[in-house]
Structure 1
């Protein structure tokens, strides 16, 4: 079997269509289809079957796709051992991240990578629904993803997952708000307010929805945006209240708005690094992940941020 042809099965399993596989690999759809047919003839078993206008892998195709993952991972591990023997961590590491994770991790990450001049970090901002981050691992070496407390992490048999930090979510209110002088609030205190929040199914929105279910009161949404600094500005100028991530927003809160912990509801988001197993085995990727883990230790469960 040709390793490259096996890799096509893996890409088809991850991406779902021949057209998307072709676009990702810089091939024409007809060339991809031809290679799949050649592999099918070689093994003598149907690997791909038609479903409507598209195709999907058969059980045999999925088995070989899984083998392709193990093969590519073993090759990456062998290359990593050789690079480690030579004392080299080199190459481009592509990272997909969302805006607030960039604020938390990218400055310190770049500082830590000063000791690894052979690694080129290529960072893209990609903010989306929490269920869509896993798919980005097909195109990036590392995906920084976040999910609400109530959501399970992606399937570990498909992706390597490295937990980085659980960031508490606090209620942000204007300085002149009647609750601003309190040390904390309950769901009942705030659920009836006008809320500035993120798009539907983003982690902060999922938490707000769970709060509303607990209270039995639908939230009154006055504005939605993915841009946390805009949410902060709207809160500071009295246009509503919001759930904001504590470590990300705390430094900007001084003399502008108050962050109040929720005492009767577990509100938080988990930030994790997602990777394909073969990409996780690359030495340069491992160096970047180690740096992310080291940077995550700055954020302590007690709410303090250290400079270490």
Structure 2
């Protein structure tokens, strides 16, 4: 005898449309029980996956793959794409557009100077070398680039030092001879109270031999109008060896002409400056130092007249 079915487990019909509907309802109920049995684990896994995706998006800050930049965290509305990029450590580096990069190093100055004049080998006195060179038509030309790395330090240092590089044209040598690591000094003290020096020194090598060209402009208030010749006349001596202690093998006198002075002024460039205002400060500092040095040499110390009066007194 077949047992009667329990109330909570009805037996579906086995044939006909009703049987098909009953079987469908039974399958749906079983599927629901299966989903109810697996829902907690699935929900937990889904939540973990969703959290992981959200965390990844926050960390990477990935943009859409379409190539169009989206708005980054912290960006202002309407900001340009890429403004405020993140650096390592979470800091933001500003992106400058249309502005110069900050100057690296201290503000300085550079200019080019060309001096040329009569020169002779085998003499040690610049005046004698100029006289011999005028007869033989031998000339020496110095093409120099003066560099002042730090204008503030240049003004503060009593020697007012800079560096020198360029080329030398020697008589009898076809090609120009390059040099670097030279010395420049502006109105450097000489040890005499009324004499300052503009120093130009250039080490170079030719045909395996080291040479050293040492030149100076003597700035001193003598009788007459001597400011122009003092500041444009360079007496040079050529030494054999790496410095000015070597034997003098040649000498002469170089001069800076009016055209060369104009070219010097045009070639002046400010270095490591971020704006025209800062460049103007560099030019102003150099010009002020030059003017003050000339005033000290020619206006505040008229010793030439004192020396002339003393000589006249001795002659009497």
In the superposition, the TM-score normalised over structure 2's length comes to 0.28
- The structure richer in strand per residue is 2
Between structure 1 and structure 2, the one with the greater Rg is: 2
